[in-house]
Amino acid sequence: MKSFVVIGLGRFGSAVAKTIAETEADLLVIDQNEDRVNLFKDMVPNAIIADAKDERVLDEIGIQDFDVAIVAIGEDIQSSVLVTMLAKDAGVPQVITKAVDKNHYRLLEKIGADRVVLPEVEMGRKIAESLIFENISNVVDIAENIEFAEVKVCSRKMNNRVISEIDDFNHYDLNISYVKHINGKVEIASGDTRLMIGDSLFVIGRPEDIQKLSEQN
């Protein structure tokens, strides 16, 4: 499983970090605000109060060893540009940065960000997806072309069957992280997990595979 560092714990960064934490992936979070970091102390083993604009801080955490860096610094365009450049210079394979407007977006692309996210645009796309694929919700981008999503079990062919018996799952490159049953019980997904109509699957995979699962369901 990939390793992630989230830099900046505002609304966007916190949402991304919480979703990644639920997958039990290797995760480190950084923010200068002590209160924000403290909210993650019980959720993430590595939650650090630090200024990511300081290159020495990034060296100390070994940022180059992470697969993905999410730069979620709020309205401070200069800081987000600097941290993005430092992460790329350190050799992070994939740097995803939040932009605040289209000019910021273009600037981040020019300096080498692998993916730039405009939350308002992303939200519009997700709302459209949720209208088309009604059993998909709570979609969060966690890396380039990789999403975490909740897919509701609606199909009779999945009803009262264990995951290992359902052939549809073999057709898509998806990881089922856990299942929230209709009775409220949550369990880590395994081949022996029995599904019922109304259960929710929390999956990680490519958007097209998640959508295909929804269509088949």
Q: Classify domain 122-216 by CATH number.
A: 3.30.70.1450
User: What confidence tens digit (pLDDT) does each residue in 116-174 have?
Assistant: 888 766 665 655 555 555 555 666 666 667 888 888 888 888 899 999 988 878 788 88
Residue ranges of the chain assigned to CATH 3.30.70.1450 = 122-216
Residue 215's pLDDT is what?
74
Q: Classify domain 3-117 by CATH number.
A: 3.40.50.720
User: What confidence tens digit (pLDDT) does each residue in 57-114 have?
Assistant: 999 999 999 999 999 997 789 999 999 999 999 999 999 999 998 899 999 999 999 9
pTM of the model: 0.63
Say yes or no to pLDDT of 54 above 90.
yes
Residue ranges of the chain assigned to CATH 3.40.50.720 = 3-117
Listing DSSP states for the chain in one string gives: --EEEEE--SHHHHHHHHHHHHTT-EEEEEES-HHHHHTTTTT-SEEEE--TTSHHHHHHHTGGG-SEEEE---S-HHHHHHHHHHHHHHT-SEEEEE-SSHHHHHHHHHTT-SEEE-HHHHHHHHHHHHHHSTTEEEEEEEETTEEEEEEE---TTTTTEEGGG-GGGGGS-EEEEEEE-TTS-EEE--TTPEE-TT-EEEEEE-HHHHHHHHHH-
